[in-house]
Amino acid sequence: MVIGTLPSSAVTTAVPAYQQQLGNDCEATSLRMVLAARGVQVSDQDVLGHIGIDLAHPKAGVSGPLSGDPFQAFVGSPNGSEGAGTGFGVYYPPVARAAQSYGMSVAAAGQGISPAQLGSAVAAGHLAIVWVDYNWRDVAAGSYTAYDGRVVPYAGPSEHTVVVTAVSNGQYLINDPARGQLQISAAAFAAGYASYGDMAVIIQ
């Protein structure tokens, strides 16, 4: 099985599977799931308050003075439209800082965290928030220049964030804020994960 809904006998309950509360806030929901697994109950909106939202620079994928920097804050409205240039998402640094603000210990955060490293971390009891292509494709990333001059890697418009809860027998068990609990083959996971340069936040 490349991708599918977990059978009821395999559903994991240690990490609750929450649906995202806004159109684009998969990053906030992913962190909210991890926090709940560690005993911290919050809303997506509360998590977004810790991540930070930049409504002044809502665009992504195009260079210019209105283009946001997801390495600094959530770009645009969490309930906006990437196609309309009103909202996009956020990358690992603000998510890692938000996790720490709730008292979490971040074991690793960045790009270049291999699937093997993720597997080892999850086997050790950690949880991984990962950036992927929504359709589990390996999309060649382009880039754009944000308002602050940063060159931002961009593989949109289908950027998505999920939580890896377990790795077993070559399958990744995923809590997806849009689709629930899924089972993803190693090949499909590696493809989707590569789209954002193997970007993850690993929380102990």
pLDDT value of residue 14: 86
Given a cut of 50, the residues of the chain with pLDDT beneath it are: 1-13
Q: What is d(CA 171, CA 152) in angstroms, rounded to the nearest whole number?
A: 31
The label of the residue with tokens 């789209």 reads 195
Q: What is the DSSP letter of 20?
A: P
Classify residue 16 by burial, with Cβ atoms within 10 Å: 0-12, 13-18, 19+.
middle
Q: What is the DSSP letter of 67?
A: B
**Does pTM top 0.75 for this prediction?**
yes
pLDDT value of residue 146: 98
CATH number 3.90.70.10 given to 25-203: yes
pLDDT value of residue 135: 95
pLDDT value of residue 46: 98
Strand order through the sheet with 3-5: 3-5, 180-185, 171-176, 159-168, 127-133, 200-203, 106-110
User: CB-side exposure of 71: number of CA atoms within 13 Å?
Assistant: 16
Q: What is d(CA 76, CA 137) in angstroms, rounded to the nearest whole number?
A: 25
